[in-house]
Amino acid sequence: MANVTHTELIPRRILFGNPTKASPRISPDGKHLAYLAPMDNILNVWVGEVGGQEFQPITKDSERGIRFYFWAADNKHILYIQDTGGNENWRLYATDLETHATRDLTPFENVQVQIVDQDKHFPNELLIAMNKENPQVHDVYNLNLTTGNLTLVAQNPGNIAGWVVDTQFKVRGAMAAREDGGIDVLVRDNEESEWRHILGWDSDDALTSGALSFTRDGQSLYIQDSRNVNAGRLIRLNLATNEESVIAEDAQYDVGAVVIHPDTYEIQAVSFNKDRVEWQVLDESIALDFDRIRDIHEGDFSIVGRDDADENWVVAFTVDNGAVPYYVYHRTAQSVDFLFDNMPELTTYKLAHMEPISFPARDGLVIHGYLTLPVGEQSNLPLVVDVHGGPWARDSWGFNPEAQWFANRGYACLQINYRGSTGYGKEYLNAGDKEWGRKMHYDLLDGVEWAISRGIADAQRVAIYGGSYGGYAALVGATMTPDVFRCAVDIVGPSNLITLIKTIPPYWSTALASFQKRVGNADTEVEFLQSRSPLFHVDNIKIPMLIAQGANDPRVKQAESEQIVEAMKSKGIAYEYMLFPDEGHGFAKPENRIKFYAAAEKFLAHNLGGDYEE
């Protein structure tokens, strides 16, 4: 096997194992810090004093590892959600800081918990949503953290896709899904009042718009709104007069993260995810803070937590060629304390840079993406097209373990935000409607051609790789455009759009109309969907394929992988198939991730000639 990179190989366990530490969160009173770290190779929550050295694990997850947690506003509990085997039926748990005892707050079978809201002014309460009464929709419950009592506060009539809570911790806003794929915003004066319609978006605006939060007086709503413009902008809507005022906007990019003051509930800053994240400060009282934070580190920053006094902020930075460093920023002193890097072992290796790129598609639409090249290598490289999932999502600039893995093994990595990706405005997003396996895929092909024409990629050594929609794209590459690619890697990708749509989770019911508009109708457009489904083009496969699937995936069922595997098997087409019995839509367990990446690395090395860690 040819050595391509001449660079020290970064071990897979560093790139894809557990982080050393991650996700720090400061307690509401500012006295304690929590973070995720492995205990017996399983991520758990550790807690210690801010500025101290003595941290200890307080949770005792022994199966999948904790990935999402937060402080209760009472300073007494750590709250986290966990599912079983990747089935996404999340339960909510509370661990007592003093006794380390953990309670299952939602001990219901086949029910999914969603966190709706928490507020420091209501420290003993939490608003959660569950599909306990109707598997298809989530109702909202007020959870008393002391007693564990659940009180129904908003019943879903069957069409509500999201809820908005006012500053009195009452559910007063709702986003109702329409049969045409649009969304209506409903409000009510109190929890006993009738809902009334405030505004609506048709399907073209539905994914670039949405209600965000109430003003402190409860008389106005902050809304992301793309009506009459291309990109979702931030507006304030007076509920009594319908008067609108624009707070922040960009002609091309949708509003991204929104920073809200925890006491005044005013919008303090918004981000726009362009080639990199750019912040627009709206509240002058934090302008100096943002300037000081920018001076800390060259990476793109985000505020991941703040204490109740708003004195201490936890800040994270992302860079393209290194670990994520975390700091505590002290506002009064304008000083910082370094906390930790999430993956400190990376500092001993040479990592690659990620370059924002763009190119014209064959129909003239300018497509955006990112290119990561091996350190010191610039031309005639084997290329991996790493396709993001969603597809209504996007790739962003910053540290990406897969991009670094590819580059370290000697491959150019091309990540393309094909049409249908989010963040670039509704014209870009809606250009992907009904274009699965066509123009969305052509954007990938045009990206390959762009890389070849610039001398970056070797046309004879191109792979297509991805998960979820990216897995579908890999299957499309193998079945519909096999001459472009040397091999394909599909992770939890759907092979048949008809069975995909017919087997979506029941709680996706409010998204079905949008899915039908943007992908197709499994009842009325059978022939069309067959034409876009890799399963019906399996005879065209002539390149090696690696397929990986979680047995408990609620989104893309195991059958999606197995039906195309069976088709290849019956036709004598070579393939590798990995089924993970304890995973769902992706791989949560580090041992499963490392097992998959070892197989994928060997597969790519065999077919493209890159490096491989023995």
Residues 6+ apart with CB under 8 A from 294: 301
User: How many CA atoms are closer than 13 Å to the CA of 340, on its beta-carbon side?
Assistant: 20
Which SS3 state, helix, strand or coil, does residue 395 take?
coil
Give the C-alpha separation, 93 to 64, whole Å: 14
Give the C-alpha separation, 514 to 254, whole Å: 19
Tokens representing residue 372 in the block: 């990561």
Give the residue numbers marked as catalytic: 468, 553, 585
Give the C-alpha separation, 135 to 137, whole Å: 6
- The distance in angstroms from the start CA to the end CA of the chain is 12
- Is the CB of residue 40 less than 8 Å from the CB of residue 61? no
Give counts: helices (H), strands (E), the chain.
Answer: 12, 35
Tokens representing residue 168 in the block: 């009195």
413 Cα distance to chain centroid: 20
Give the C-alpha separation, 310 to 438, whole Å: 49
Of 351, 348, 234, 335, the residue nearest 293 (C-alpha):
335
User: Which class for 51: exposed (0-12), middle (13-18), buried (19 or more C-beta within 10 A)?
Assistant: exposed
Nearest 5 degrees, angle CA 463-CA 469-CA 475? 45
Angle between helices 469-479 and 439-453 (to 10 degrees): 70
Tokens representing residue 52 in the block: 């101290």
Give the C-alpha separation, 52 to 332, whole Å: 20
Give the C-alpha separation, 159 to 120, whole Å: 30
Give the C-alpha separation, 235 to 282, whole Å: 13
- Is the CB of residue 489 less than 8 Å from the CB of residue 478? no
Give the C-alpha separation, 146 to 530, whole Å: 53
Of 388, 459, 449, 472, the residue nearest 423 (C-alpha):
388
